Amino acid sequence: MANSDRTEGSLKDAKGDLKKAAGELLGDGELKREGNADKAEGKLQKGFGKLRDMIRGRRDV
């Protein structure tokens, strides 16, 4: 079972995809940058969650 960091990171990553796509569609550079930032934050959080799982000895990483 994934920990909360992995779950929340996945949600932030998906939110970033949506914001980035909306920014590209609307020509809104600020929204696109926010999407990229959300994606990066989500990826970092997912990575942290994976690391926590590895430390705890979970094998479903």
3-state per-residue secondary structure call for 14-32? HHHHHHHHHHHHHCCHHHH
Q: Note the pLDDT of residue 56.
A: 87
d(CA 13, CA 50): 15
CA 42, CA 14: separation in Å to the nearest integer?
8
Give the count of beta carbons closer than 10 Å to the beta carbon of residue 21.
13
Better-scored residue on pLDDT, 16 or 59? 16
Asked whether the beta carbons of 48 and 5 are under 8 A apart, the reply is yes
Q: Percentage of the chain with pLDDT > 90?
A: 80
Mean per-residue pLDDT for 18-27?
Answer: 98
Mean predicted lDDT score pLDDT of the chain:
92
pTM, two decimals, is 0.82
Structure tokens, 40 = 């990066």
What is the structure's pLDDT at 61?
A: 52
